[in-house]
Structure 1
């Protein structure tokens, strides 16, 4: 438990470092920006249950994940459509401009479906065939 908490705090602190769009590619192409804060139980739950699988999925290949703390300014080159008030908030960005968002963490049962609908509606994402990846989402019990 302590190790998990320390790991989460380390990740959260690393996210608190300024994100530079030119270094991380946040403002280029389609990306998913997770806005979070230290001590957010729902953020920690997402990192533990969904985070490890995300980059292995078609969604993760299509919209790579970046993160920023809610207390920080948006990364350089990124425009939010409106202020972020809740954590976690997942912002779908295209070339740095917000084109969609998921506020809060609805749990594993709903996150993947909401993300897939948003990607298909806002970007033309069609699924695994877009990226040549197979579905690596964890089984939901």
Structure 2
């Protein structure tokens, strides 16, 4: 694990002590970091989430939703703490592989996720 990822993990744990929630999933996962009353998060939930689990990319990286201010799943190694919502963070065995911020429309979302998984 890179030193920066370890430091970020420790910083998140210190900032969100209630993060002793559930452990982050093993394998591929997509972490969606969202904020209350975020209109872009609401649009994602309305336009993409209903079919996410049945989409090939959604099956490849199951979605885990986390509030921007926690609690966070245990055992995450992130490059940095997310500052905007929504932020989508692709994880492989609880380590960040890549991320993208924002939501415009379903096509842009699937293209960005496909690019990360490729």
**Could you state the TM-score of these two structures normalised by the residue count of structure 1?**
0.67
Higher relative contact order (CA 8 A, sep 6+): 2
* Structure 1 residue 108: Cα displacement: 1.6
Q: Secondary structure at the match of 1:74?
A: coil
Aligned length: 100
Unaligned runs of 5+ in 2: 1-18
Write out aligned runs for 1:1-141 (5 A).
19-21=21-23, 26-120=24-118
Moved over 3 A (4+): none
Unaligned runs of 5+ in 1: 1-16, 121-141
Of structures 1 and 2, the larger Rg is shown by: 1
RMSD: 1.6
Q: Secondary structure at the match of 1:82?
A: coil
